[in-house]
Chain A
Amino acid sequence: MAGKSLLFLILIMLLFTNLSFSSDGTPQNSSWFDINTLATLIVSLIFAAIIIYSIQSASKGKGIQIREIPGLKAIDDALGRATEMGAPVLFTPGWGGDVQRPTTIASMNILSTVAEKTAEYDCRLIYPTHDPVIMAVAQEVIKESCIKSGYPDRYRAEDVFYISSSQFGYAAAVDGIISRTKPASIFLLGTFEAESLIMAETGNSVGAIQIAGTDSTIQLAFFIVACDYTLIGEELFAASGYLTQNKSILASVRAQDIMKILIALFIVIAIIWATIDPKSAWWKF
């Protein structure tokens, strides 16, 4: 399936690229293909090929091991603590993202596992959001997780709700919920902006275990200081593979590492080249 999809993608790209040139081979003014994006296209195709090859080879070969991620390993402890204390669990996707953002999708993957376990342990899960589309998707994810765990009756629709699209309106409301309900565990996973520390410090003040992760390097610094566990960089995106142990998802995480090695090699070669020949700039595409 994945191989066919790549072939389909390459065929479309070839057709697409071909349309961008006139019969004499010169680029057209209003061409279908913007020649300035050629390098991005080539790199994207190489990376797509690596991901698909990795997924296909994983389905035939041995299982893939993924290193221990403390933030994800702590999910069980955080939920166990909430169950023992009889306090709720709060999960926020942050204010900055919408549903099509990869960070939000990664956050939904973790929500699925958290919701399954809270249903199993009969623990209340509160999910306030700033985006009605995220609310609709989260409702489906949590409902399905409750069904998967064997307790569909433990789904509480009133605990997955939209608050406000205003950044500080949302932050104030989440702070209010934290102060009043005193959750034992708080998950801050998604796209965060200036509201990150306001929420994390309020969570800290009520003594909750906090697991955080975002794609903003600025907010990561706040989370590292204020939270117990922080998913840094690609750890957030590797979560679904780590939690589900799905072979295909784990293979895509391995592909990510291969791409990282390639980028590191490219940087090293470019540094050496620039040192030997400072005038050269072939790597600046």
Chain B
Amino acid sequence: MRNKLPLIICLISGLIMFLQYFSKHPVSRAVYSSILDWWQIIFAFTLLVGAAAFVKVSLKGLQKKGEGKYKAIALAGVVVMPILAIIGGNKLGSPFLWVFENIQAPMQSTVFSLLAFFVASAAYRGFRARTIPAAILLISALFVLLGRIPISEYFSEWFTRIMFWIQDYPSMAARRAILIGIGLGSLTTAMRVILGIERTYMRGE
């Protein structure tokens, strides 16, 4: 029963979620919306577990050489932000929002901006024409790059035309083929879980 009960719950939940997609009846919508509410409640509780685990790991890391300072900053964030929210709320002009807009948002933007440099370094490695497919990739990438920059139109409008052709035909065809594979893979994985064939989520028992 210890193994069967989760499988039965999984089968019924899977069927309900599958069936509700095909219905716009108010009852079906209500069931779907309640399931989403339940999900939010479960998530809120697990967030507490996650935060507790984070604090536990960070406290352990405080004693480690080289790692301690990072853990201290992370712990300070976990402690300070809720205190600021409790004291001043999260409205416009509140200390919480000030910290968010002036510390957290710029830090996130900084990490995001790193992407530009990483794209350049990855492209440099990827576009080395050692093999025929790599050479095709390099030539295609050059045409797409040239087609994207405004100056290419002064030389020839063909750069833009070739760029659109590459994007709309060979690239799109490959993407769609991959997407079909991903869609079918998702479908079979979902079916395996619903039918109880795939049981990794319950220790594989």
Contact = CB atoms under 8 A, between A and B. Distances in A.
A256 B23 contact: no
B15 A180 contact: no
A252 B188 contact: yes
B192 A249 contact: yes
A30 B26 contact: yes
Contacts of B181: 232-234, 260
Contacts of A224: 126
Contact of A32 (B23, B46, B194): B23
A132 B50 contact: yes
B3 interface: no
A175 B71 CA distance: 14
A106 B57 contact: no
Interface string A179-212: 0100000000000001001101100100000000
A40 interface: yes
Residue among B47, B114, B188, B193 with max Cβ neighbours from chain A (10 Å): B188
A66 to B, nearest CB: 13
Interface stretch (A68-76, A77-85, A157-165, A273-281): A157-165
Contact of B188 (A171, A232, A256): A256
B115 to A, nearest CB: 6
A32 B28 contact: yes
Contacts of A47: 184, 187
A111 B181 CA distance: 22
Nearest to A109: B200
A131 B42 CA distance: 12
Contact of A237 (B53, B189, B194): B189
B119 interface: yes
Interface stretch (B90-98, B145-153, B154-162, B172-180): B172-180
A256 B191 CA distance: 11
Interface residues of A, number: 86
B39 to A, nearest CB: 8
Given A133-B42, A197-B115, A144 B204 contact: yes
A240 B200 contact: yes
Contacts of A252: 188, 191-192, 197
B63 interface: no
Interface in A209-238: 215, 217, 220, 222, 224-226, 232-234, 236-238
B203 interface: yes
A9 B16 CA distance: 10
Specify the main secondary structure of chain A where it touches its partner: helix
B21 interface: yes
Contact of A255 (B15, B182, B188, B200): B188
A51 B188 contact: yes
A40 B19 CA distance: 12
Contact of B178 (A32, A194, A220): A220
B125 interface: yes
26 contacts: A1-B196, A5-B195, A12-B19, A31-B25, A52-B191, A108-B200, A132-B50, A135-B53, A141-B200, A141-B203, A144-B203, A144-B204, A158-B57, A161-B54, A168-B107, A172-B111, A197-B115, A215-B185, A220-B178, A226-B118, A232-B181, A233-B177, A234-B181, A237-B182, A237-B189, A249-B192
Interface of B: 11, 15, 18-19, 21-26, 28, 42-43, 46-51, 53-54, 56-57, 60, 66-67, 70, 74, 104, 107-109, 111-112, 114-115, 118-119, 121-123, 125-126, 175, 177-182, 184-198, 200-204
10 closest residue pairs by CB, A with B: A132-B50, A237-B185, A233-B181, A162-B50, A225-B126, A234-B185, A234-B181, A144-B203, A168-B111, A102-B186
